[in-house]
Amino acid sequence: MQDDIFEDQNRNSSQEEFELKKSLSSALEKKIELLAKLYTEKKISLEEISLILGLEKSEVNLILSQKGVIKKKRILVGGGAGFIGSNFIYHLLENYPSYEIINYDVLTYAANIENMSIAEKNPNYKFIQGDIADYEKLEEIAKEGIDAIVNFAAETAVGRSVHGKAADFIHSNVVGTHSLLELVKNYKISRFVQISTDEVY
Ligand SMILES: NC(=O)c1ccc[n+]([C@@H]2O[C@H](COP(=O)([O-])OP(=O)(O)OC[C@H]3O[C@@H](n4cnc5c(N)ncnc54)[C@H](O)[C@@H]3O)[C@@H](O)[C@H]2O)c1
């Protein structure tokens, strides 16, 4: 008899706990809906939403992009299989879940595509093998929409420019950069960042 009473009490309190959690999560859902509406109406910023919800900006970004409030941004990264480009891609994938990254790299001797094996598992990552000087190939990607280009693709070993094939440097660093700039101009891509040093300039 005594056992039955305890069992009933336990059942009641876990039921209450369950109901409480349910109403809390529905209250949170309503709060997110309201914040999303205010964001669409440009009455609140991502920073303010992240403060209100106590979440990282990247988490807010993900929630709003899952709700279709923020459109996923497509970023073309040139030379993303190289030293700096590959680290940059991992940084974006970790911190900006609402970005889709296209790693566009021709894979010269300097590339290390094995570095990207973890990124391959991320649905926001895609690899396309291609040359930045190949304007037609770049156009195929641009037709599907690109929001920004960050270019790391270049011939980078200064010694090779003197003792090796200087033509490779002119091809990637001059013709390639020019072809990306043409793409930016013709497809009205709003951001282009050229990562470089003296070998390119
Ligand atoms: N590594 C450094 O310490 C350093 C420092 C300052 C600036 N930079 C500059 O940053 C940029 C990237 O440097 P990195 O060290 O990552 O270079 P990297 O040599 O490691 O990588 C270059 C990448 O570009 C790709 N690539 C070359 N030509 C291409 C082409 N025509 N089309 C498509 N892909 C092509 C290669 O396959 C490679 O994956 C360069 O402009 C370099 O001058 C590098």
Model confidence pLDDT, tens digit, residues 118-155: 999 999 999 999 999 999 999 999 999 999 999 999 99
Residue bearing the bigger pLDDT, 150 or 17: 150
| Ligand 1 pocket residue status of 154, Cβ below 6 Å | yes
Centroid of ligand 1 to alpha carbon of 199 (angstroms): 10
Average pLDDT estimate for 102-116 = 95
- What gap in Å lies between CA 85 and CA 78, rounded to an integer? 8
| Ligand 1 pocket residue status of 106, Cβ below 6 Å | yes
- What gap in Å lies between CA 30 and CA 25, rounded to an integer? 9
Longest CA–CA span in the chain (Å) reads 94
**Which of 156, 170, 193 should be mutated for ligand 1, with most atoms under 8 A from CB?**
156
Instruction: Report the pLDDT value the prediction gives residue 14, as an integer from 0 to 100.
Output: 82
Question: What's 172's DSSP letter?
Answer: I
**Which of 108, 114, 134 should be mutated for ligand 1, with most atoms under 8 A from CB?**
108
Query: Would the pLDDT of 96 be above 90?
Result: no
| Ligand 1 pocket residue status of 82, Cβ below 6 Å | yes
Instruction: Report the pLDDT value the prediction gives residue 44, as an integer from 0 to 100.
Output: 95
Instruction: Report the pLDDT value the prediction gives residue 201, as an integer from 0 to 100.
Output: 59
Please name the residues in contact with 142: beta carbons below 8 A apart, sequence gap of 6 or more.
183, 186, 187, 189
| Ligand 1 pocket residue status of 132, Cβ below 6 Å | yes
Query: Would the pLDDT of 11 be above 80?
Result: no
- What gap in Å lies between CA 125 and CA 101, rounded to an integer? 5
